[in-house]
């Protein structure tokens, strides 16, 4: 079955020669809207990546099956296909060092490895990826784990190289990268052993319940002494295993908590495990005594079910935590650990970063990230420090300039003399600091744990009261009723109320592109009353783009055609603003960010009828001139362009005004006349203003701290309606951290939203650190919450979701407390027996479980095709451009 | 009723077998990913899956 061709809305555009599809027509490959500038002619694609993959699938004969399966089990957000991969990652896959560190050799010389695979999202992906063994000789087995986007590969290194596998996957739009810094192994191990405990305790509980059923059905010691005694002893045997194997965890943690409480002399150190352990131990001891003496009640069934249910809740919580852990691993593994080293004879070879030493020479091609701290040895270029310092304007570097790891090289290749690499570089040291600093942070008592002190005291008082009352009524029944009280008030539902709600919320949040790395963040988010926001890359895109243009539209296109011959960042921004999205379809472009592909590529994909450009002359630091379609075109600094124009309007204020706003003004002259005035700058994200007004409406104090120039910062603050005293520029990373800590000392609960290396310390110090999409490694590691959805709208979802989760938790806690009070009253009046406990306890837990699962905290992602054309949800590279 | 003296131990043995099977399935990683295998069922293919389906040790 071939995919249905998209409907062509010819009627809407009468007179159009080849009528373009409606912007919301689904891309034939990925299903996202094609936008205003679709690629291809019937079928239409959203980008050339999808087009390439579509044809690759059909040429290899996979097309029919792929598109038949692609709608099955499509629970994940599809993305436009990527067809380029970092050549450094590819070359690393074949190095001996990589094979040694990240793959495992089997007895027969074959190897196994895990790779992350970006772009897998549906049944068709599973089918296609798992065809690897049939398609490539040397691949023995390929198993895809779809939720984790991990491919387990078993291959013969002599018959097939790993890079060949990656290239095969790439032609269908899957980008493979190695699994690095893998913490998932230990997480999996922890999950598995807890899951075994859950299974064993449920099996024991089930059998104990069966035996208990016999007692409830009428079996008793007087009627059939032999059978009843045997059943009791057997129950005790099973319950002993359950208490010792499953319940031991609660007892151990309760003991630790009591010791801590004694040391700190504070009820606040008590946590929920204490009443749980107390209920289990008292119930078990009393039942064991009844079994031995042959008289009294046995509670074994209630206890074993309690243990199994609580372990299940704990396992679910653990499992939900792996979502954030896996996502972190995946993002961190994207960093290439290969470097281009320039040898003494001038040859360039790629080596692993850990083989680089001080004094080596490293080449950084255009568009790549500088991998080391060092000094430029040769070359002249512009680098973007936005991630490191927050400066939005690119900085020029030449021989002798210092460059730091993490900066992006924008214009021309650079050779850098290494001064520090890896962990010794500034970014490396910062990462170490964050890792070390993460541990001693004070554990925040969760809401449920804060209740525990009161809860334990309350239960103790009630137990005493019960003892006194029954001592007075009937002394022989004291023990029975006190035990009944302790068992029935054992806070099963209370202990599950928080973890379950948080576990379900973490799963829903992850589906919405929000990853909660630590659970106390959810609670803190509802208490935030001060927010510190970074500017570059957070409120803004973090790169130059065309912000404003006044003048002749055609002249802009001519300027863009001319600028396509330059590699200046401004030229790149202009070409990007006027070009189509198809650039990232060019294969083999070795860039980490397809949007930063040098404009030199643009002419190759420009339509054949594009303008003719001749006599190009780029003047460094001033601008560029040339002939476009027979017209003289000059683009550059206004004062430079002015020297070529005979007439200059009397309204030069526009340029000064733009400069005052922190933007870069550019003039375009055509045939000796000023034709258009352009303004370039770091564009605000479309949703920035909404977020700030939402935070404001929540009653939080928002302050803007940026490392960028104060003029730019105050201009951004003005356009966002932020008071001038709340926005500061030239803020050092240490000052950001200090600012956060100062707010905390004033008693505020502070959230920090940022993306850069310079934000990492503040993210770490804040009560909740939120790293936005595309942030630096350091911010990702330091943050408590990170976003994988573009823009700032997930921040709003995060705050709203956290509010709702806390609502669910409060609802759960109130219900559990109500249940416990009712249970205590019943036990004191003497109506609670083992049967009542066996029915009431699971019922209360069931209510809490249902309430947690049915929560509507985070919005689940819309089905395919949700983002409106040109909406901020789309990657910036696919922004529709006006048709020429 | 004395048949229970025989039946209950048999029931326990069965439960023990279940637990052992569960233990094995967890250890061999069958619960690590519960989503992809469900999808794999949909892929009707002439494929001769190689003998070592899970290469992870």
Question: Which of A141-155, A236-250, A618-632 has the highest mean predicted lDDT (pLDDT)?
Answer: A236-250
Same domain, A264 and A278: yes
Query: Which among A152, A195, A203 is the nearest to B56, CB-wise?
Result: A152
d(CA A310, CA A194): 11
CA distance A691 to chain B (A): 35
Q: Does A154 touch chain B (CB under 8 A)?
A: yes
The mean predicted confidence, pLDDT, of chain A is 80
Residue B13: its chain A contacts at CB < 8 A? none
In a domain, A525, yes or no: yes
pLDDT at A235: 92
Indicate if the pLDDT at residue A595 is higher than 60: no
Query: Which among B33, B43, B53 is the nearest to A127, CB-wise?
Result: B43
Compute CA distances A295 → A59, A225, A289, A503, A840, whole Å: 80, 11, 8, 43, 24
In a domain, A547, yes or no: yes
Total domain count, chain A: 4
Q: Where are the beta strands (DSSP E) in chain B?
A: none
Query: Which among A112, A140, A146 is the nearest to B36, CB-wise?
Result: A146
Which residues of A, range 477-516, sit inside 8 Å of B by Cβ? none
Same domain, A245 and A392: no
Q: What is the pLDDT of residues A215-230, one digit of tens each?
A: 888 777 777 788 888 8
Indicate if the pLDDT at residue A842 is higher than 80: yes
Mean pLDDT, range A382-404, rounded to an integer:
84
Indicate if the pLDDT at residue A605 is higher than 60: no
Same domain, A356 and A463: no
**Percent residues over pLDDT 90 in chain A:** 9
Q: Where are the beta strands (DSSP E) in A767-855?
A: 768-771, 785-787
Out of A788, A820, A844, pick the residue that ends a domain. A788
CB contact under 8 A, B50 and A145: no
Same domain, A206 and A293: yes
Compute CA distances A279 → A236, A241, A250, A821, whole Å: 16, 17, 11, 15
Same domain, A664 and A584: yes
CB contact under 8 A, A112 and B55: yes
DSSP string, A246-281: IIHHHHHHHHHHHHHHHHHT-GGG--THHHHHHHHH
Mean pLDDT, range A677-698, rounded to an integer:
87
Mean pLDDT, range B9-32, rounded to an integer:
90
pLDDT at A245: 93
Q: Does A143 touch chain B (CB under 8 A)?
A: yes
Q: Does B24 touch chain A (CB under 8 A)?
A: no
CATH code of residue A402: 2.70.150.10
Residue B22: its chain A contacts at CB < 8 A? 196, 199-200, 203
CB contact under 8 A, A126 and B40: yes
Which residues of A, range 191-230, sit inside 8 Å of B by Cβ? 191-192, 195-196, 199-200, 203, 206-207, 210-211, 224, 227, 230
Domain that includes residue A749, residue range: 514-529+687-788
Contact A761, A539 (CB under 8 A): no
Q: Does B10 touch chain A (CB under 8 A)?
A: no
Confidence of residue A4 (pLDDT cuts 50, 70, 90): very low
Phi-psi region of A3 (alpha: psi -120 to 50; beta: other; left: phi over 0): beta
Number of helices followed by number of strands (H, E) in chain A: 30, 27
In a domain, A798, yes or no: no
Same domain, A366 and A393: yes
d(CA A368, CA A361): 16
Give the residue from A612, A614, A617 showing the smallest Cα distance to A640: A617
d(CA A129, CA A122): 11
In a domain, A884, yes or no: no
Same domain, A313 and A215: yes
CA distance B17 to chain A (A): 11
pLDDT at A879: 30
pLDDT at A593: 36
pLDDT at A867: 36
**Cβ of A278: how many Cβ atoms within 10 Å?**
22
pLDDT at A288: 93
Catalytic residue numbers of A read 534
Same domain, A668 and A784: no
Same domain, A366 and A458: no
Same domain, A556 and A637: yes
CATH code of residue A776: 3.40.50.1000
Residue A130: its chain B contacts at CB < 8 A? 40, 43
In a domain, A124, yes or no: no
Indicate if the pLDDT at residue A455 is higher than 60: yes
Q: Does B15 touch chain A (CB under 8 A)?
A: yes
pLDDT at A882: 32
In a domain, A216, yes or no: yes
Q: Does B37 touch chain A (CB under 8 A)?
A: no
Q: What is the pLDDT of residues A766-797, one digit of tens each?
A: 889 999 887 787 888 888 898 888 888 889 99
Residue A129: its chain B contacts at CB < 8 A? none
Tokens in use for A557?
Answer: 């296109």
Same domain, A283 and A378: no
In a domain, A41, yes or no: no
pLDDT at A340: 87
Same domain, A618 and A498: no
ipTM: 0.80
d(CA A617, CA A566): 9
**Percent residues over pLDDT 70 in chain A:** 87
Tokens in use for A787?
Answer: 């976003």
Question: Which of A86-100, A640-654, B2-16 has the highest mean predicted lDDT (pLDDT)?
Answer: B2-16
Query: Which among A130, A154, A196 is the nearest to B26, CB-wise?
Result: A196
CA distance B18 to chain A (A): 8
In chain A, whose CA is at the least distance from the CA of B32?
A: A188
Query: Which among B15, B31, B33 is the nearest to A145, CB-wise?
Result: B33
Give the residue from A812, A810, A754 showing the smallest Cα distance to A786: A754
pLDDT at A440: 41
A842 secondary structure, DSSP code: H
pLDDT at A614: 79
pLDDT higher at A717 or B56: A717
Out of A629, A662, A684, pick the residue that ends a domain. A684
Out of A635, A657, A684, pick the residue that ends a domain. A684
Q: Does B26 touch chain A (CB under 8 A)?
A: yes
Confidence of residue A600 (pLDDT cuts 50, 70, 90): very low
In a domain, A384, yes or no: yes
pLDDT at A742: 92
Q: Does B56 touch chain A (CB under 8 A)?
A: yes
């Amino acid at each position: 079955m071939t995919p249905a061709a998209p409907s062509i809305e010819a009627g809407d555009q009468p007179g159009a020669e080849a009528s373009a599809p409606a912007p919301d027509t689904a891309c034939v490959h990925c299903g996202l809207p094609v936008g205003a500038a679709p690629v291809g002619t019937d079928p239409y694609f959203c980008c050339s990546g999808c087009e390439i993959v579509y044809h690759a699938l059909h040429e290899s004969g996979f097309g029919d099956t792929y598109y038949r399966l692609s709608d099955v089990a499509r629970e994940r957000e599809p993305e436009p296909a990527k067809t380029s991969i970092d050549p450094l990652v590819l070359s690393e896959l074949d190095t001996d060092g990589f094979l040694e560190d990240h793959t495992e050799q089997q007895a027969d010389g074959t190897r196994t490895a895990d790779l992350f695979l970006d772009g897998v999202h549906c049944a068709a992906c599973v089918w296609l990826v798992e065809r690897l063994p049939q398609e490539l000789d040397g691949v023995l087995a390929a198993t895809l784990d779809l939720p984790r986007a991990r491919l387990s590969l078993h291959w013969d290194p002599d018959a097939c190289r790993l890079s060949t596998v990656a290239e095969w996957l790439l032609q269908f739009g899957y980008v493979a990268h190695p699994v690095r810094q893998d913490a998932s192994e230990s997480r999996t191990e922890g999950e598995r052993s807890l899951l075994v405990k859950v299974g064993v305790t449920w099996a024991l509980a089930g059998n104990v319940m069966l035996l208990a059923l016999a007692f409830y059905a009428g079996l008793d010691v007087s009627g059939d002494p032999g059978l009843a005694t045997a059943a009791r002893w057997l129950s005790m045997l099973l319950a002993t295993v359950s208490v010792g194997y499953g319940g031991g965890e609660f007892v151990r943690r309760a003991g630790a908590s009591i010791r801590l409480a004694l040391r700190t002399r504070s009820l606040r150190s008590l946590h929920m495990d204490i009443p749980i352990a107390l209920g289990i131990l008292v119930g078990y001891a009393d039942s064991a005594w009844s079994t031995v003496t042959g008289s009294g009640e046995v509670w074994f069934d209630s206890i074993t079910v309690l243990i199994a249910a609580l372990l299940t809740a704990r396992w679910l919580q653990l499992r939900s935590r792996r979502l954030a852990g896996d996502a972190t691993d995946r993002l961190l593994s994207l960093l290439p650990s290969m470097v281009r080293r320039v040898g003494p004879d001038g040859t360039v070879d790629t080596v692993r970063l850990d083989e680089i030493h001080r004094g080596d020479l490293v080449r950084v091609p255009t568009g790549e990230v500088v991998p080391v701290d060092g000094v430029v040895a040769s070359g002249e270029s512009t680098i973007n420090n936005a991630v490191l310092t927050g400066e939005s304007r690119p900085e020029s570097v030449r021989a002798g300039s210092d460059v730091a790891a993490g900066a992006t090289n924008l214009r021309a290749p650079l050779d850098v003399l290494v001064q520090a690499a890896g962990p010794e570089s500034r970014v490396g040291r910062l990462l170490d600091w964050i890792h070390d600093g993460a541990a001693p942070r004070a554990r925040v008592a969760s809401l449920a744990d804060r209740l525990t002190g009161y809860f334990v005291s309350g239960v103790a008082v009630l137990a005493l009261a019960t003892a006194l009352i029954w001592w007075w009524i009937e002394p022989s029944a004291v023990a029975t009723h006190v035990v009944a009280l302790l068992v029935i008030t054992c806070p099963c539902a209370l202990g599950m109320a928080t973890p379950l709600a948080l576990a379900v919320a973490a799963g829903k949040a992850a589906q919405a592109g929000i990853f909660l790395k630590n659970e106390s963040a959810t609670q803190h988010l509802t208490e935030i009353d001060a927010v510190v926001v970074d500017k570059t890359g957070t409120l803004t895109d973090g790169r130059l783009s065309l912000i404003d243009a006044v003048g002749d539209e055609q002249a802009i296109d001519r300027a863009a055609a001319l600028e396509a011959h330059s590699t200046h960042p401004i030229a790149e921004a202009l070409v990007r603003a006027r070009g189509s999205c198809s650039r990232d379809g060019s294969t083999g472009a070795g860039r980490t960010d397809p949007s930063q592909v040098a404009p030199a590529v643009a002419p190759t994909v420009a339509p054949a009828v594009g303008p003719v450009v001749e006599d190009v002359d780029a003047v460094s630091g001033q601008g560029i001139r040339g002939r476009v379609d027979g017209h003289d075109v000059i683009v550059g600094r206004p004062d430079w362009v002015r020297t070529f124009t005979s007439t200059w309007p009397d309204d030069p204020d526009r340029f000064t005004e733009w400069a005052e706003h922190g933007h870069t003004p550019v003039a375009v002259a055509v045939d000796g006349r000023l034709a258009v005035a352009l303004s370039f700058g770091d564009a605000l994200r479309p949703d920035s203003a909404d977020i700030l007004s939402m935070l404001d409406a929540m009653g939080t104090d928002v302050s803007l701290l940026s490392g960028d120039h104060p003029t730019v910062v105050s201009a951004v603050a003005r356009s966002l309606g932020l008071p001038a005293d709340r926005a500061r520029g030239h803020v050092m990373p240490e000052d950001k951290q200090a600012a956060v800590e100062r707010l905390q000392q004033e008693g505020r609960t502070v959230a920090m939203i940022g993306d850069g290396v310079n934000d990492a310390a503040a993210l770490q110090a804040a009560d909740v650190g939120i790293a936005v999409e595309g942030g630096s490694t350091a911010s990702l590691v330091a943050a408590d919450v990170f976003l994988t959805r573009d823009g700032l709208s997930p921040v709003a979802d995060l705050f709203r979701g956290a509010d709702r989760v806390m609502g669910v938790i409060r609802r759960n806690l109130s219900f559990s407390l109500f249940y416990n009070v009712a249970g205590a009253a019943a036990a004191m009046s003497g109506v609670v027996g083992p049967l009542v406990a066996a029915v009431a306890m699971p019922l209360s837990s069931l209510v809490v479980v249902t309430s947690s699962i049915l929560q509507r905290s985070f919005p689940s992602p819309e089905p395919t095709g949700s983002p409106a054309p040109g909406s901020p949800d789309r990657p910036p590279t696919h922004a529709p451009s006006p048709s020429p | 009723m004395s048949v229970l003296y025989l039946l209950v131990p048999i029931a326990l043995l069965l439960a023990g077998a279940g637990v052992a099977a569960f233990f094995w399935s967890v250890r061999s990683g069958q619960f690590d990913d519960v989503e992809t295998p469900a999808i794999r069922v949909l892929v009707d293919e002439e494929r001769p899956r190689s003998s070592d389906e899970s290469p992870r040790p």
